Amino acid sequence: MHKIVRKEQLNPEICLVEAEAKDIALAAEAGQFVILRIDETGERFPLTLYDWDTEKGTVTVVCQAVGVSTKKLCAMAEGEAILDIAGPLGHAAKTKNIGKVICIGGGVGTAEAYPIAKAMQASGNDVTVIIGSRSKDLLICEEDIKKFCDKVHITTDDGSYGKKGFVTDVLKELLEDGSYDLVFAIGPVIMMKMVSGMTKKYSVKTLVSLNSIMIDGTGMCGGCRVRYDEKPHFACVDGPEFDGHLVDFDDLMHRGDRYKDKEKMADDHYEGECKIGLDKKK
């Protein structure tokens, strides 16, 4: 059991949860994730590690309430306990000796970009961060990111905060004004696809963190399969970090659409948006 020691509601859709998990905290690195199970009847679902504290023996995750289990997690309070937290899983991000880096977070993907951008900065790289959301009230992680990075660009789809438009609008301006060694993008698949398409034209190396459907997290179930460099790979054990110029995003979106059909069927039996067994990472 993993006791919740801190719980915050970041916006109407997204919550932050810090829970006791000493062994995971001691081994965690930026870019890795954990798999949670709320209770004995719940399914397993993955979330990227947002932060960890080795002295307190805790790990922090950020969760968007979109399915049954993620809604349960966001409804929990401090003092309650999560049944299982397994990890850290996945490969850690490489952050040393890179140079000039742009880290991009879209929507809840901003919470996944945060630890990577922080680690990049701590390793001595020159880091610029772009954050995107649909509107100001849905923006997350801005203050945490500004604590270690003074080059932060914010975009909102409706123009309610920062620059009106998309993260790719700011990215294009930055790429035209200067040279960069790496772009790291995390967010909706379509956003990562557009970022990768743009950076390819500028010949800038680009990494993405894939949010495929994931169940066991050990490469056995095949649910997180992605087509990468024209071959099948598994996001849980081969990733979650991949070269964005080699990912087949169209195939990834097509696979995601298959699960959406099943989610729609589940809606016939539950109020709201139900994703039994299909809760997505991040």
The hierarchical CATH code for the domain 2-89 is 2.40.30.10
- pLDDT tier for residue 263 given thresholds of 50, 70 and 90: very low
State the residue for tokens 């309070």: 77
What is the pTM (predicted TM-score) of this model?
A: 0.84
Q: Is the pLDDT of residue 160 over 70?
A: yes
Judge contact between 185 and 208, C-beta under 8 A.
yes
Task: Give the residue-averaged pLDDT of 81-87.
Answer: 94
- Kindly report, as residue ranges, where domains of CATH 3.40.50.80 are found in the chain: 100-209
Where in the chain do CATH 2.40.30.10 domains reside?
2-89
The angle that helices 189-201 and 249-267 make with each other, rounded to 10 degrees, is 170
CATH class of 100-209: alpha beta
**pLDDT tens, residue by residue, 183-211:** 999 999 999 999 999 999 999 999 999 87
Percentage with pLDDT > 70 across the chain: 90
Q: What is the pLDDT of residues 207-239, one digit of tens each?
A: 999 877 777 777 787 878 889 998 989 888 888
Q: Buried (b) or exposed (e) across 205-238, using 16+ Cβ within 10 A? A: bbbbbbbbbbbebeeeeebbbbbbeeeebbbbeb
Provide the pLDDT for residue 139: 93
